[in-house]
Amino acid sequence: MAPSQQNPSPRRQELLEAAYAYALRGGLSELSLRPLAEAIQSSPRVLLYLFGSKDGLIRALLARARADELALVQQIAGTRNTSGGLQSTARELWQWLSDDAHRGLLTLWVESYARSLIEPDGPWAGFALDTVGDWLALLAGAQPAAERDTEAALAQRTLVLAVLRGALLDLLATGATTRTTAAVHLQLALLG
């Protein structure tokens, strides 16, 4: 571990943000240090020093992406109308997921999720499992406390998560916001 990882420097944070913006535009699967360093006005040596390795940089980028995801989760958890329950929370999530402004982050998320499954011991290790837990926790918070720990409630929020993620994959592939939104709303209506 590079010394600066234990106590991040302002330069490390600046380069992480620049690298994150770069990753949002082009993903991580073909990430090469030289073009990245050039694009963010650094050098491969500086990146290796600050992040320890290319894998260390990828882990930092995934942590940064997850921070954005968790910020959304906390925002929805803190502002949702608790009387709306699971349907309302899922609609709010879909509204955010289907917003064009989030395409880069969501494409990066899909790529990282898949890589986490394909390379479970690489820098993506645990990414998919952690995000499933994050989203299920948010959805659990939308369910009545008395029912939350039942098998039925777990199945219901798992279904909602599967619908949201499936529709998201379709949306990212096709750009068909109207069609995928109608499908999500139809499934959520069936929950009620």
Per residue in 155-180, pLDDT (tens digit) is: 999 999 999 999 999 999 999 999 99
CA distances 167 to 172, 176, 187, Å, are 9, 10, 11
Of 101, 80, 100, the closest CA to residue 91 belongs to 80
Report yes or no: 130 and 68 within 8 Å, Cβ to Cβ.
no
Per residue in 104-147, pLDDT (tens digit) is: 999 999 999 999 999 888 898 999 999 999 899 989 999 999 99
| pTM of this structure | 0.82
User: Domains (ranges, CATH) in the chain?
Assistant: 3-191 (1.10.357.10)
